[in-house]
């Protein structure tokens, strides 16, 4: 099967990461006082997701050129 | 007081994007679904890291996420025994000893292995009981999800049932097992990345691990246990009365570890099916081992939040978790409560989506296992053998639709008659408990006969039922909870009773199978059992592989790490 699962994973988490990062930058700081101990977790975790997503995308793009898995044994 | 979560637009957006991806993956995979083996077995073409994460994720349903957090709150760190004594050793055993037979025999399902190894009736018994169980489990998942959405978001129960059923239906119809597996991997990352910030924030709020241990002392002492009971996994296991699980080390290691966990991880087609879809024998054997690595760290993600929640509950004058009707905390609300408290809108969408995803993959896993067993082991074997492959592919799609419709029925049954569900789960317990004895004997003792396996299995189920009829846990009234014959064995709670029931069932099955096998003639020759029994099967050649791909090396590393974790949290 030549469909690389890392591609959709990468796209989806990059998208989530971007959404959260932007939202973290523009959102009212009050929601963080209320919930996450005053930490802007949307911004921080948005960046984490973005890094993860881009990493997966890179793997998918690099891996796309590799030959397929070895043929089944026996 | 009821918990409410207020989802903002951004949270809904994340939820919708996620389900968009889920459907899209099914859509992309549609063109690969050419024959029945693509649909049911993913054409045996999936790389090990994908099957490994799916193997883990297929079990990561609602029961795992909500249930393990609930147990973490109820029993403390002893809940980790489900992982570090139960799951991990069983997964290593599956990888090293059992996968060669499942994958190498070219059986398309666990029941089919039983047919190759034993006979038709043993397969039939396993296939039919498994098929019934999967649709009920799927229905229970659906019901739990709808109930949760109703409580948290005030969503309409029927609406939730329909939406979850339609999403699962669409992506399995489109992409079959591959679709389920790929989405399980997606869900794995959702769960890890969605819950990690929750755990980090909660742990930071309570003041770190040592502060948590400190705050768990009153939780233990107020229930009459020694101070460290909730933060030390082994030190309070000398007697059942010493710990909230109500079980001592022997019952735990044998009942939970050996019988129940090996029975589940090594024989349940729901998880084994993921490994069978791998693209080579080596990948199939690595599947459970790749799963074991994140699995051994999962207590930090699912049990730790429960421990934090109960510590906060006691520290805050018992007002952190919502209280049930009887005044005890509603443990099942642990994860939702933490989500609502610690995640602001935005990240809440990710956490909440992870939770919903786990319910749905629980359903999808059951449905894909059901459609395979139905089509190959029941339909093709007993109802319509000898049809074209296209016909069986069509039947698989029909079975998916049928399975989901029956699941919906079960969900409504669960919402109206709680005790029917309790009864069913009890019966499933009887059916599952002896299974591992049959497989163990079948795979390692070539003298085991078809009659021995079949009657031993039935006898084991009977043994479980009989034990249940004689055992009762403190505070329960005789009836569905046990002792419907006579209260003969007494336990501190249901868990201890369950573990010993499993031991009784396993032992009955083990002894009966040996006795009947010795009394009956072998129905398979050595030649027929090649590839199905350990002593008659050439060992898979792994010497040419790098060390990090060799199952035995990986297995030893995994076990050593597990032992270390047990010692660290002794």
As for the ipTM of the complex, it is: 0.91
> Among residues B112, B190, B569, which one has the least CA distance to residue B373?
B112
Task: Report the SS3 class of residue B533.
Answer: coil
Q: Please indicate if any CB of chain A lies within 8 Å of the CB of B43.
A: yes
Report CB contact under 8 Å: B279, A12: no
> Are B301 and B129 in contact, with CB atoms under 8 Å apart?
no
Q: Which two tokens stand for residue B541?
A: 């050649």
Instruction: For residue B276, give every residue at least 6 positions away whose Cβ sits within 8 Å of its Cβ, in sequence order, or none.
Output: B41, B44, B102, B103, B107, B108, B109, B284
Report CB contact under 8 Å: A32, B189: no
Distance CA B156, CA B119 (A): 48
Q: Please indicate if any CB of chain A lies within 8 Å of the CB of B53.
A: no
Q: Which two tokens stand for residue A44?
A: 């921080």
Q: List CB contacts (< 8 A) between B42 and chain A.
A: 1
What percent of chain A has a predicted confidence (pLDDT) above 90?
Answer: 65
Residue ranges of B 302-361 with Cβ closer than 8 A to chain A: 341-347, 350
Strands B471-473, B489-491: pairing kind? parallel
Dihedral sign computed on CA atoms, order B58, B305, B500, B486: negative
pLDDT at B3: 61
pLDDT tens, position by position, A15-26 = 999 999 999 999
Report CB contact under 8 Å: B347, A9: no
Burial B110-149 (b: 16+ CB within 10 A, else e): bbbbbbbbbbebbbbbbbbbbbbbbbbbbbbbbbbbbbbb
Dihedral sign computed on CA atoms, order B110, B376, B536, B290: negative
pTM value is 0.93
pLDDT tens, position by position, B77-87 = 999 999 999 99
Of the two residues B180 and A68, the one the predictor is more confident about is B180
> Are B552 and B542 in contact, with CB atoms under 8 Å apart?
yes
Taking residues B29-51, report their average pLDDT: 90
Report CB contact under 8 Å: A8, B24: yes
Report CB contact under 8 Å: A69, B279: yes
DSSP A2-61: ---THHHHHHHHHHHHHHHHHHHHHS-THHHHHSSTT--HHHHHHHHHHHHHHHHHHHHH
DSSP B466-528: HHHHHEEETTPPTBTTB-SS---EEESSHHHHHHHHHHHHHHHHHHHHHHHHHHS--SS-TTT
Q: Which two tokens stand for residue B269?
A: 């087609």
Burial A24-53 (b: 16+ CB within 10 A, else e): beebeeebbeebbeebbbbbbbbebbbebb
Taking residues B41-66, report their average pLDDT: 88
Q: Please indicate if any CB of chain B lies within 8 Å of the CB of A73.
A: yes
CB atoms within 10 A of CB B327: 7
Instruction: For residue B459, give every residue at least 6 positions away whose Cβ sits within 8 Å of its Cβ, in sequence order, or none.
Output: B434, B508, B509, B512
Taking residues B379-393, report their average pLDDT: 93
Q: List CB contacts (< 8 A) between B551 and chain A.
A: none
- Residue B64 C-alpha from the chain's centroid: 7
Residue matched to tokens 């679904």: B33
Q: List CB contacts (< 8 A) between A16 and chain B.
A: 14, 17, 350
> Are B371 and B40 in contact, with CB atoms under 8 Å apart?
yes
- Residue B329 C-alpha from the chain's centroid: 25
pLDDT band for B110, please (50, 70, 90 cuts).
very high
The pLDDT of residue B337 is above 50: yes
Q: Please indicate if any CB of chain B lies within 8 Å of the CB of A5.
A: yes
> Are B353 and B14 in contact, with CB atoms under 8 Å apart?
yes
Taking residues B509-518, report their average pLDDT: 97
Report CB contact under 8 Å: B32, A41: no
Between B295-299, B325-329, B348-352, the lowest mean confidence (pLDDT) is in B325-329
Beta strands in B331-376 (DSSP E): none
Residue ranges of B 179-208 with Cβ closer than 8 A to chain A: 182, 185-186, 189, 193, 197, 201, 204-205
Residue from B344, B537, B539 to probe the interface with A (highest A Cβ count within 10 Å):
B344
Residue ranges of A 21-50 with Cβ closer than 8 A to chain B: 23-24, 27, 31-32, 34-37, 39, 41-42, 45-46, 48-49
pLDDT at B151: 87
pLDDT tens, position by position, B153-211 = 999 999 999 999 999 999 999 999 999 999 999 999 999 999 999 999 999 999 999 99
Chain A: closest CA distance from residue B93 (Å): 21
Closest residue, chain A, to B105 (C-alpha): A74
The pLDDT of residue B226 is above 60: yes
The pLDDT of residue B123 is above 60: yes
The DSSP call for residue B209 is: H
Distance CA B186, CA B419 (A): 35
Of the two residues A24 and B492, the one the predictor is more confident about is A24
The DSSP call for residue B344 is: P
pLDDT tens, position by position, B294-313 = 999 999 999 999 999 999 99
Q: How far apart, in Å, are the Cα atoms of B191 and each of B69, B334, B378?
A: 13, 16, 35
pLDDT at A70: 45
pLDDT band for B431, please (50, 70, 90 cuts).
confident
Q: List CB contacts (< 8 A) between B283 and chain A.
A: 69
pLDDT at B440: 95
> Are B315 and B215 in contact, with CB atoms under 8 Å apart?
yes
Compare CB distances from B344 to A8, A12, A35 and report the shortest one's residue.
A35
DSSP B215-255: HHHHHHHTTT--TTTTT-SSTT-SSGGGSTT---HHHIIII
pLDDT band for B1, please (50, 70, 90 cuts).
very low
pLDDT at A69: 47
Residue from B184, B340, B347, B531 to probe the interface with A (highest A Cβ count within 10 Å):
B347
The pLDDT of residue B2 is above 80: no
Distance CA B509, CA B35 (A): 38
Chain B: closest CA distance from residue A65 (Å): 16
pLDDT at B81: 95
The pLDDT of residue B481 is above 90: no
Backbone angles phi, psi at B467, to 5 degrees: -60, -45
Report CB contact under 8 Å: A72, B42: no
Distance CA B338, CA B215 (A): 17
Distance CA B410, CA B112 (A): 27
Report CB contact under 8 Å: A3, B32: yes
Report CB contact under 8 Å: A1, B45: yes
> Are B127 and B378 in contact, with CB atoms under 8 Å apart?
yes
């Amino acid at each position: 099967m030549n469909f690389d699962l890392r591609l959709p994973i990468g796209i989806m988490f990059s998208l989530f990461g971007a959404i959260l990062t932007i939202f973290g930058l523009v959102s009212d700081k009050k929601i963080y006082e209320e919930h996450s101990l005053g930490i802007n977790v949307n911004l921080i975790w948005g960046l984490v997701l973005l890094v993860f997503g881009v990493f997966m995308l890179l793997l998918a793009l690099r891996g796309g050129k590799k030959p397929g898995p070895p043929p089944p044994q026996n | 007081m009821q918990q409410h979560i207020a989802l903002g637009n951004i949270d809904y957006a994340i939820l919708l994007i996620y389900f968009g991806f889920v459907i899209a993956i099914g859509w992309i995979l549609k063109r690969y679904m050419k024959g029945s083996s693509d649909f049911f077995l993913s054409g045996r073409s999936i790389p090990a890291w994908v099957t490994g994460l799916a193997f883990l994720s297929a079990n990561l349903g609602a029961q795992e996420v909500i249930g393990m957090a609930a147990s973490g709150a109820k029993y403390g760190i002893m809940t980790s025994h489900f992982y570090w004594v139960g799951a991990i050793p069983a997964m290593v055993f599956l990888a090293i000893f059992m996968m060669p037979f499942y994958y190498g025999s070219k059986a398309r399902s666990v029941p089919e292995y039983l047919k190759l190894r034993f006979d038709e009736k043993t397969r039939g018994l396993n296939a039919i009981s498994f098929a019934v169980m999967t649709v009920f489990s799927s229905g229970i998942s659906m019901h739990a999800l709808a109930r949760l959405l109703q409580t948290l978001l005030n969503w309409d129960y029927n609406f939730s049932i329909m939406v979850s059923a339609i999403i699962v239906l669409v992506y399995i119809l489109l992409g079959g097992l591959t679709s389920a597996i790929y989405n399980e991997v997606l869900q794995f990352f959702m769960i890890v990345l969605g819950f990690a910030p929750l755990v980090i924030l909660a742990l930071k709020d309570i003041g770190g691990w040592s502060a948590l241990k400190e705050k768990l002392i009153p939780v233990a002492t107020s229930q009459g246990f020694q101070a460290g009971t909730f933060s030390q996994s082994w030190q309070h296991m000398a007697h059942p009365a010493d710990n909230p699980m109500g079980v001592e080390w022997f019952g735990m290691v044998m009942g939970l570890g050996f019988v129940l966990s090996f029975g589940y991880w090594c024989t349940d087609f729901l998880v084994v099916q993921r490994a069978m879809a791998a693209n080579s024998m080596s990948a199939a054997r690595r599947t459970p081992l790749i799963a074991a690595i994140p699995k051994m760290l999962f207590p930090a993600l699912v049990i730790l939040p429960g421990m934090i929640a109960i510590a906060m509950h006691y520290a805050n004058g018992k007002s952190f978790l919502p209280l049930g009707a009887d005044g005890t905390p509603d443990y099942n609300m642990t994860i939702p409560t933490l989500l609502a408290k610690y995640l602001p809108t935005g990240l809440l969408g990710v956490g909440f989506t992870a939770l919903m995803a786990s319910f749905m993959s629980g359903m999808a896993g059951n449905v894909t296992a059901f459609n395979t067993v139905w089509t190959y082991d029941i339909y093709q074997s007993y109802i319509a053998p000898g049809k074209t492959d296209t016909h069986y592919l069509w039947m698989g799609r029909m079975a998916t639709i049928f399975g989901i419709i029956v699941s919906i029925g079960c969900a409504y049954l669960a919402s109206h008659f709680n005790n029917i569900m309790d009864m069913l789960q009890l019966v499933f317990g009887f059916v599952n408990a002896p299974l591992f004895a049959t497989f163990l004997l079948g795979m390692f003792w070539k003298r085991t006969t078809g009659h021995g396996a079949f009657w031993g299995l039935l006898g084991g189920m009977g043994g479980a039922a009989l034990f249940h009829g004689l055992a009762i846990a403190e505070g329960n009234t005789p009836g569905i909870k046990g002792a419907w014959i006579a209260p003969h064995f007494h336990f501190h709670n249901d868990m201890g009773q369950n573990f010993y029931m499993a031991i009784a069932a396993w032992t009955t099955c083990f002894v009966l199978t040996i006795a009947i096998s010795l009394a009956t003639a072998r129905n398979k020759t050595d030649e027929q059992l090649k590839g199905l029994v350990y002593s008659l099967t050439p060992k898979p050649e792994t010497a040419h592989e790098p060390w990090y791909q060799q199952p035995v090396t990986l297995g030893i590393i995994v076990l050593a790490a597990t032992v270390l974790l047990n010692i660290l949290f002794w």
